[in-house]
A and B are shown apart, each in its own frame.
Chain A
Amino acid sequence: MDALNKISPELAKISKEIPFRIPENYFEEFPDRLQGRIRAREKTGVDEKRMMAFKPYLAAAVLIIVALISGTLIFRNIAQKRSLQNLHAEISQTVERELYYISEETILRVMNYTTGQEAVTISNHTEEIIDYLMNEDIPLNEIIDAF
């Protein structure tokens, strides 16, 4: 290759022989291996062709199922939110209605019952102390400072 010699004398020195080898009998055996592969593909290819024919329907079915599931989930979510909101409203209405009929005394009694005996005791002591201080003629600002 004279042209190559002109462009690159270094390259022209290298043998053009392809330096790769192949396994023994590779080309003798290749056609049979290839035919085997093609036959195997043809067999599976029949199934693939059937699958290809059904593919659009399959895709549509998948889309419908996904839409149905998403729809159901969204609907359930909204319904749950609504029922929660309804429940909250119902509770607050009931509490309001019932509170109207409950006397302050009952509420205080319930509060005392729920906070325990200790809270009641402290409250009684405080009142006693205040009464005592008032009786002793201690000025009001000093009593306030003490608490």
Chain B
Amino acid sequence: MHQGTGKKASEYSDQELVGLFSEPEKREYAFNLIVLKFQERLYWHIRKILIDHDDTDDILQNTFVKVWNGLENFRLDSGLYTWLYRIATNEALSFLNQKKRRLALSLATLEKKLSDSLDADEYFNGDELQIKLQKALLTLPDKQRIVFNMKYFDEMKYEEIAEILGTSVGALKASFHHAVKKIEKYILEH
């Protein structure tokens, strides 16, 4: 519950949140509501891309810092969640690319590193099949992995994913289909 309105953060609409944020004296309060409303979903979205908790924490903070700086200019052309998801996805992808460049890693090496960190991660508690699925996911190209995550784990509609990633629904369907086939092959072979 927040500031005497009796409403939970999740009960505020996008319009209400953006409206509150535009009032200077309520800016911090509105931002706090946005964080409370979206932090978990964005965290899991980023975590599935980056695997590591600390990296995810950094990128989640970066995402919200960008939201804080850019929300004033947000015009509700798309949903707030779509916009947040897009920022988070771009931040996570940039982070992965920077990591590859910084460590001069090839794609295969980065996959191996992420896969190893999966085995050693104290915050990973999946069963054998889930570990295998995560490892299979790491063999996919970054964008294909994101499509798979959004469709499979988050059960998002293709139209929503298309709006976030700026891709056509047809391309997304094909991407998901390829991802599933590759994952199945990996699981059967390992």
Contact = CB atoms under 8 A, between A and B. Distances in A.
B187 interface: yes
B188 A10 contact: yes
B180 interface: yes
Contact of A30 (B35, B44, B47, B123): B35
5 contacts: A4-B180, A7-B177, A7-B180, A34-B61, A41-B65
A48 B9 CA distance: 33
B39 A31 contact: yes
Interface of A: 1, 4, 7-8, 10-11, 13-23, 26-27, 30-31, 33-35, 37-38, 41
A27 B124 CA distance: 17
Given A34-B61, A41-B65, A10 B184 contact: yes
Contacts of B188: 10
Interface in B160-189: 177, 180-181, 183-184, 187-188
Interface residues of B, number: 39
Contacts, number: 83
A18 B44 contact: yes
Given A19-B127, A20-B123, A31-B36, A8 B47 contact: no
Nearest to B64: A34
Contacts of A41: 65
Interface of B: 28, 32, 35-36, 39-40, 43-44, 47-48, 51, 53, 57, 60-61, 64-65, 68, 121, 123-127, 129-131, 133-134, 152-153, 155, 177, 180-181, 183-184, 187-188
A16 B150 CA distance: 12
